[in-house]
Structure 1
């Protein structure tokens, strides 16, 4: 996995304060605060119905929030929606291409609507069709595309204007692994070129692969935020795994740690199948204390490793629900199409 670094000394492309959106008595978004730094990817996680899609619709001017403020690419989402729409791209949960037009015509038309010159629109359409493996189908009506092809075309359409901020609402749901990797590559390419991405997803692998930072939403509220390793540390479960040079010393090592009675260190256990001693710890200081005790007792160590819970385990601990890549998930306002919401 490519190591992601958060750019230093940059401003925020997205700033949200106290955002609220309700549908009748249901608060789909309930006082959300978040920031997305320029040139980074913020992954927004949450169970079905958490309010992720409603949040994206508010930030992309498709819904007007009931309270709070939001600034995207320097524009207020409520007071300056027309200017903002020229700075953003959006891929919703359902492909929204014109089925009567060919794939190429769809991209060319959107490029022209975004004020690209004829030459620029043609070149950009050709470029994105190639990147998403759609060149052979370029002249075919979109109505004859498979579901995966339409999804790729929709993603290409959201990127054609090289938006400053790109919203991807569960962009790879239903895509095969190869196409999903193509989407990830294109997102990373755009971020390298300076774009900022707000990504909602229920694929934990996708979040780990793309996101610099994560925000977890449940019942319309932010319940956790930070980098992947920070969220893993928050839910606990950090385990020190020690492999002795002599496999027969596993039980002796466990006994030595029990006798030491280290403050805050959980009970050590021997995993004879893996050949390691597992020690639950919280801090780096405890890690050092464990290693020092074993060194003082004369144990030779072959390897030391720390294990954090998976992002799936973190998601479950924070929300009480398993992550899901289901295509049937619905947010509170998801039954309402994007076109209707924008009306």
Structure 2
């Protein structure tokens, strides 16, 4: 029988750590708030989440001023906000030690905020519990499309109307130079196994790309052990100088640069897919979810491919993908390539 969540060691440790952090912040919880014009943005989720928030955060920072805008994010995404020239960036990670956290949240509470924008796409982050100044606003609203959460937040904070065009992310202005030429980008995985195409399907799609984009280099992008294994196998099997295995070889800013410079992005529902969206690229998204996902961005530059769930590959249990993702056919992919080349 599986352990109840409250009996799991990791859960108990986290709760004990949280209790002690709050003890050391008690003076800020009890003291009267000071007047402030500062805004704190709490954005503690993943790569793609942070990227699609870029325009919403820009709107808020324009309202409060960049000098008065403070961002709390995970350490590995700090570079995203440095690229966008934000000045007041603070970082935290769930597993970092209690002494760092106490020092961090004492400093943030000492700064003081008039408003706190908790930009949660899914769960409310525990970090918001350590901020005791400012009225808190969050995105806890059920929506059909992810950016509708942003409209909800902005209208509550700024008390005026917004539409989807107002908040569509566009970070192209931060990549005005060109570094890579004549490239197609393929993201070789996603954070979740269910969102990741099988190796055999990647192989079929790359065969089509080599035929349709002769003279172009195909950059394999991604990070982590699983994606590195996939990219290494593809590089070895094709043994083609046009295949460039760049998994874990580029810093995030260079990955973004390569996507910006590419002619076409192909990949699953992932952080890199959202980067391509924010860079206004042509995209073929290999999707895992049978029904309409709230992460399907409506754009004439994006083709979302889904299979019928009836591929032969499903005769054996696959570690990666779903019936919807794994049954995307070569014919579907070829048609998508032809269509997107002519957009």
TM superposition score normalised by structure 2: 0.26
TM superposition score normalised by structure 1: 0.26
Higher strand share goes to which structure?
A: 1
Higher helix share goes to which structure?
A: 2
> Rg bigger for which structure?
1
